[in-house]
Structure 1
Amino acid sequence: MRMPVALVIGVLLAATAACTTGEKPAPQCDSKLDAAFGAWARAGFSGAVAASTGGRFECLAGYGTADDATGARNTADTVYSIGSVSKAFTATAILKLAEDGKLSLDDPVGKLVPAITGPVAKATVRQVLLHTSGIGGSIGADDQPLDRAGAIAAINKLELAFPPGTDDAYSNAGYTLLAIIIDTVSGMSYRDYTLRNVLTLPGGAVTGGFWHGRPAAAGPVAAGYLDDGKPGRSNDFPGPYWTTEGNGSLAMSTRELATWAYALFRGALAKHAGDPGHPVGDGRSHTLGGWMAFDAPVYGTPIVAIAGGGGDVGHNTAVVWIPARDQVIVMSSNRSVLTAEELLAATVPSLVAGGALPTPTTPAGGGDPAAVVGTYRLDTGGSFEVTVAGNQPRISAVGADAVGALFPPRHRFSADDLRAHEKRVLLMLDGQTKEGREERKAVEAEYGPIAAVAGGGTVVADGEMRTYVTVTTRDGPRLGWYAVDEHSNIEGAELPTDPPALTLVPVAANRYRPDDPTGTGPDVTLDFAGGKVTVSGPAGTATARKSQR
């Protein structure tokens, strides 16, 4: 029998209160779940898991090291930056203001914030919530100091990619605009309103805080580690923080996030947060609450999910609400070897079905990593560079032909999608969009006039397409990558950067596959023999010859 909602939320509030007063229950997890997550930890997952059904936690556990410098371990009370999961909190604040009669979701944003005078001023709050306002992208790098007035000025400069309500474009800038609306309409600052009315649950328990600045999340903070193993950015950026306010500024533990999400979906914070609002294809819809709703055919029953992180912090968080099971599952990670989002993607079908979790397969072993080290060149001009770290080969690709062979399209992204993405990136960097012209100015301000831009192939990473480009300035060529949406708004970028690379595991004496326990990465096999490497994938093979030193 299902517990009454009030009693369920009371249980959660008591658990959270224990967290905030120092009376923390020992981390625990069902033995079968713990065994499965332990196997994923051995495959590279480092982070924490929290899962509750009917408001009662059946899994609160941490795996791996939270901080290499101190040796501290990850636990369910370790604090992580939750990145774009912050959007769910901003959306909740907007829904609460609407319920309190402080605004209408159909109000034009320019009416609520007269200082918003740019093209987006006529878009409604509802359209901004659903990413259908016409603006996309961001208004600056995460750690770019930007005050409220600067954020408004940047938003006013954004052009609309389409008339409001006629299409969709995922927008960090849109959620910063929502934070400005909250800041204006509520009568208090965005941070104060969020703390008092969204992070604080009925009964007074506080769930989390902000990654940079105050009020900060209480608890031990995990260090983040990037693709190359180096530490990510810490939480000591002095601000001001308006590049991430509303769209990615919060931090909390998995225990706190699971508690908050359950309270949200049982109606304790705002109504209609998980209702589908705008379909985006493949059985998915943006919700008014900032989440993504998945129709029943996708996983066998309707679910609502959200994920965020990555970037230069090294943290990643993923959350799923399964209404039919009255269940919340939260995973956070602090290393990019196997992120929370990747782990959730690999396990969510089993979690939704209530079955045993899959575990990663163990490589067959064999092979001599040192024997495959070297540079391998394709006849078409590209190359592969193989190095060894920790007794594992790592192969990087340089050139569109090499990138295409090592990173073939997979899952919902087709070869046509990748080619179209590269075309949009090159047109953007050619200055054929306003955002592209601004990006050129920013690059030239740092590196000098751009002499040429050449495409270097497109990969799928962290659920998005990234096109690699070589940008040549007076100081020489630099490799970088850009992720853009279908309207050429920049969703992510890194310049300079290293070539795309894969860590390999042996499956036979001279045969390797990507170290990809979730099965979500490139579907390729690499055979080393006779001074050559042959990369085999869905579209065929490519053979490169080892250069003689």
Structure 2
Amino acid sequence: MRLATPIASVLALLLAGCATGAGSMQSSVDALMRDYTGDVPGAAVLVLREGQPLLRRGYGLADMDAGIPVTPATNFRLASVSKQFTAAAIVLLAQDGKLSLDDPVRKWLPSLPEVADPITLRHLLTHSSGLVDYEDLMAPDAVAQVHDIDVLHLLEREHRLYFAPGSDYRYSNGAYALLALIVGKASGRGFASFLHQRIFEPLGMAHTVAYESGISTVANRAYGHSLVDGQWQRTDQSSTSAVLGDGGIYSSIDDLSKWDAALYDDRLLSDASRADAFALHTPIHDEADVDGYGYGWRIHGEVLWHSGETIGGRNVIVRWPKRHFTVVVLTNRNDPEPYRLALKIADLYLPDSPPR
């Protein structure tokens, strides 16, 4: 019998140790995800280090009615995780010279009332516009879905602001609906088309889409669910689910791995544009785990993150850019919010407790 060489023996032991470690790590994540396992609304989890997936896994069901399981290719409605794409579209157009972040919003949307005169695109990006929440302007019993243009029409009739633009922070879905309309005006094509041609297609995000009913489709779609009287019920759409700029993008963890990779180099945004997008523009003093807001990103220490909340779905992406480490958790259930879960998953791989 031929004995293995010392080098081969060491290599075999190292490989075996890596396999054992990976298996143990997956088991630890599986334990954290046990409530998403089985015949229940599920989740997709992605852990990336240096662009490589350390974990890429689906749990539970994407479609309870049809019994279809969640896979890494399942597309979830990202809800407010969509805002980073809306922001990137605006920044891309600024790079192209088609607009300036310091443009007044009324340059592009002149039907807004005069009270909006001081608001710039940068204010919209950073939730410092003072715009009144469009959701509060809708009829309480509204059933028909509103779209981005309907958000504009609601705000056209509102002659007050919460505060002087640039003087404070208030999270604004309406601001991002307006940004989507501005992308359309500045680019000469629809918002969904611009995202496809300038972001999704170049990055190989083949199944990511800003979904428009009757125009586009969502492949491998996860449907939202809510727990009602102890039973899971499909609750996939609400009256605001068709607004694209603030939350209408569907994507998978496989496609989001490509998005994450593009945030480290200049294939999409220049170094200067990325630095600007990831900078703390609006301080936030009354929210845990948030120091301030950039362009479509919450900022806390070295961490960039954003959550997404929609009827029947909760999502989060958490990035440690200096460590080239990212955790994504996408779910198709109304509760719980997965940010803390993502941090627990990160702790398994970053035992030195990354600053947050």
Q: Provide the residue aligned with 1:133 in structure 2.
A: 129
Shift of 1:328: 2.1
In 1: Cα distance, 2:124 partner to 2:164 partner: 12
Structure-1-length-normalised TM-score: 0.53
Spell out, residue by residue over 1:346-397, the C-alpha distance to the aligned partner (whole angstroms, 9 max, x if none). 44455554679xxxxxxxxxxxxxxxxxxxxxxxxxxxxxxxxxxxxxxxxx
Q: Cα gap change, 1:157/1:234 in structure 2, threshold over 3 Å: closer, same or farther?
A: same
Q: Provide the residue aligned with 2:218 in structure 1.
A: 217
In 2: Cα distance, 1:99 partner to 1:245 partner: 22
Q: Cα gap change, 1:134/1:339 in structure 2, threshold over 3 Å: closer, same or farther?
A: closer
Q: Provide the residue aligned with 1:40 in structure 2.
A: 32
Shift of 1:251: 0.7
- Name the amino acid aligned to 1:251: Y
Instruction: Name stretches of at least 5 consecutive residues in structure 2 with no aligned partner.
Output: 1-20
> Of Structure 1 and Structure 2, which has the larger fraction of its residues in strand?
1
Q: How does 1:354-393 map to 2 (within 5 A)?
A: none
Q: How does 1:202-281 map to 2 (within 5 A)?
A: 202=203, 204-206=204-206, 208-213=208-213, 214-218=215-219, 220-228=220-228, 229-234=231-236, 244-270=243-269, 271-272=273-274, 273-281=277-285
Contact kept, 8 Å, 1:155 with 1:177, in 2: the verdict is no
Aligned residues: 314
In 2: Cα distance, 1:143 partner to 1:50 partner: 35
Q: Cα gap change, 1:216/1:309 in structure 2, threshold over 3 Å: closer, same or farther?
A: farther
Q: Provide the residue aligned with 1:303 in structure 2.
A: 303
> Of Structure 1 and Structure 2, which has the larger fraction of its residues in helix?
2
In 1: Cα distance, 2:175 partner to 2:167 partner: 16
Q: Cα gap change, 1:347/1:285 in structure 2, threshold over 3 Å: closer, same or farther?
A: same
- Name the amino acid aligned to 1:153: H
In 2: Cα distance, 1:336 partner to 1:246 partner: 21
Q: How does 1:399-478 map to 2 (within 5 A)?
A: none
* Secondary structure of residue in 1 paired with 2:174: helix
Which of 64, 67, 73 in structure 1 is aligned with 2:69? 73
Q: Provide the residue aligned with 1:465 in structure 2.
A: none
Q: Cα gap change, 1:329/1:104 in structure 2, threshold over 3 Å: closer, same or farther?
A: same
- Name the amino acid aligned to 2:68: A
Which of 17, 22, 31 in structure 2 is aligned with 1:30? 22
Shift of 1:148: 5.5
Q: Indicate the RMSD between aligned Cα atoms, in angstroms.
A: 2.7
* Secondary structure of residue in 1 paired with 2:225: coil
Higher deviation after alignment, 96-105 or 114-123: 114-123
* Secondary structure of residue in 1 paired with 2:202: coil
Q: With CA pairs under 8 Å and 6+ residues apart, which has the higher RCO, 1 or 2?
A: 2
Spell out, residue by residue over 1:192-247, the C-alpha distance to the aligned partner (whole angstroms, 9 max, x if none). 11211122234x543511344243333x1123221323323336x8x9x8962200
Q: Provide the residue aligned with 2:315 in structure 1.
A: 317
Q: Cα gap change, 1:50/1:209 in structure 2, threshold over 3 Å: closer, same or farther?
A: same
Structure-2-length-normalised TM-score: 0.79
* Secondary structure of residue in 2 paired with 1:259: helix
Contact kept, 8 Å, 2:327 with 2:346, in 1: the verdict is no
Spell out, residue by residue over 1:33-83, the C-alpha distance to the aligned partner (whole angstroms, 9 max, x if none). 321221123244631111222122121111122222222221111111110
1:193 matches 2:194: yes
1:286 matches 2:293: yes
* Secondary structure of residue in 1 paired with 2:206: coil
Q: Cα gap change, 1:190/1:44 in structure 2, threshold over 3 Å: closer, same or farther?
A: closer
Q: Provide the residue aligned with 1:170 in structure 2.
A: 171
Contact kept, 8 Å, 1:208 with 1:216, in 2: the verdict is no
Contact kept, 8 Å, 2:148 with 2:180, in 1: the verdict is no
Q: Cα gap change, 1:144/1:36 in structure 2, threshold over 3 Å: closer, same or farther?
A: farther
Shift of 1:127: 0.8
Shift of 1:342: 4.1
Shift of 1:99: 0.7
Shift of 1:92: 0.4
Q: Provide the residue aligned with 1:160 in structure 2.
A: 161
Spell out, residue by residue over 1:402-443, the C-alpha distance to the aligned partner (whole angstroms, 9 max, x if none). xxxxxxxxxxxxxxxxxxxxxxxxxxxxxxxxxxxxxxxxxx
* Secondary structure of residue in 1 paired with 2:86: helix
Shift of 1:32: 2.8
- Name the amino acid aligned to 1:294: H
Instruction: Name stretches of at least 5 consecutive residues in structure 1 with no aligned partner.
Output: 1-28, 296-301, 357-549
Q: Cα gap change, 1:32/1:120 in structure 2, threshold over 3 Å: closer, same or farther?
A: farther
In 2: Cα distance, 1:266 partner to 1:354 partner: 27
Contact kept, 8 Å, 1:63 with 1:73, in 2: the verdict is yes
- Name the amino acid aligned to 1:268: R
In 2: Cα distance, 1:151 partner to 1:248 partner: 13
- Name the amino acid aligned to 1:279: P
In 1: Cα distance, 2:241 partner to 2:98 partner: 23
In 2: Cα distance, 1:227 partner to 1:143 partner: 21
Contact kept, 8 Å, 2:168 with 2:282, in 1: the verdict is no
Contact kept, 8 Å, 1:201 with 1:260, in 2: the verdict is no
- Name the amino acid aligned to 1:233: T
Contact kept, 8 Å, 1:151 with 1:243, in 2: the verdict is no
Spell out, residue by residue over 1:270-303, the C-alpha distance to the aligned partner (whole angstroms, 9 max, x if none). 2323222221136611012x101111xxxxxx11
In 1: Cα distance, 2:80 partner to 2:183 partner: 18
Q: Cα gap change, 1:70/1:222 in structure 2, threshold over 3 Å: closer, same or farther?
A: same
Which of structures 1 and 2 has the bigger CA Rg? 1
Q: Cα gap change, 1:243/1:309 in structure 2, threshold over 3 Å: closer, same or farther?
A: same
In 1: Cα distance, 2:241 partner to 2:184 partner: 12
In 2: Cα distance, 1:209 partner to 1:55 partner: 22
Q: Cα gap change, 1:348/1:55 in structure 2, threshold over 3 Å: closer, same or farther?
A: closer
Q: Cα gap change, 1:66/1:102 in structure 2, threshold over 3 Å: closer, same or farther?
A: same
Q: Cα gap change, 1:247/1:205 in structure 2, threshold over 3 Å: closer, same or farther?
A: closer
Contact kept, 8 Å, 1:207 with 1:260, in 2: the verdict is no
In 2: Cα distance, 1:354 partner to 1:35 partner: 20
Contact kept, 8 Å, 1:112 with 1:181, in 2: the verdict is yes
